[in-house]
């Protein structure tokens, strides 16, 4: 059997403690997570929260996160004429109206491209154009003045 690093060993122990998965399934999840963490250095290592609070708490937290709104329109004045569009990342060239945003399925994992990815992960740039994201390779930038 492969020797697991301390963080993977803690994840394995937590899976065993929860007794909700077969050992084979737990090991597959652990090894897949390890591969993802190796390829994505910006990911937070989840072994400490999972070990401390359990998989159930982590699962419910992710479900709450997926229920957060993608965007909001905030009125900056009492008359409602000055409104500000707020979004985590950037705009999407394929979303033209607020109704387009409301129609998105927020409870899914965002893919590496597309409107959901644009709203969550693309970063605005000051130029007035649409171009590939040179920093992280996902989605598009799209700004207007």
- Given this model, what pLDDT does residue 99 score? 93
Q: Who contacts 24 (Cβ-Cβ below 8 Å, separation ≥6)?
A: none
Residue from 38, 22, 33 nearest 58 by CA: 33
Average pLDDT rounded to a whole number, residues 8-27: 68
Report whether pLDDT(1) > 70: no
- The domains of the chain are located at 6-66, 86-142
Whether 121 contacts 112, CB under 8 Å? no
Per 3-state DSSP, the chain is made up of helix, strand and coil in percentages (nearest 5) of 45, 10, 45
Mind listing the pLDDT tens digit for each residue in 58-107?
888 888 888 888 888 887 777 877 888 888 888 888 899 999 999 999 88
Q: What is the DSSP letter of 19?
A: T
pTM recorded for the entire structure: 0.51
pLDDT of the residue at 5: 45
């Amino acid at each position: 059997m492969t020797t697991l690093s301390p963080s993977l060993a803690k994840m394995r122990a937590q899976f065993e403690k929860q007794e909700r998965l077969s050992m084979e399934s737990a090991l597959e999840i652990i090894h897949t997570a390890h591969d993802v963490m190796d390829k994505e250095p910006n990911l937070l290592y989840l072994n400490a929260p999972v070990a401390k609070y359990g998989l159930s708490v982590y699962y419910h937290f992710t479900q709450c996160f997926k229920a957060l709104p993608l965007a909001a329109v905030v009125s900056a004045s009492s008359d409602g004429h000055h409104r500000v569009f707020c979004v985590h990342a950037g705009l999407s060239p394929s979303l033209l109206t607020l109704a387009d945003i409301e129609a998105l399925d927020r409870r899914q994992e965002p893919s590496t491209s597309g409107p959901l990815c644009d709203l969550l992960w693309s970063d605005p740039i000051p130029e007035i154009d649409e171009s590939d994201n040179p920093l992280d390779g996902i989605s598009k930038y799209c700004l207007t003045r």
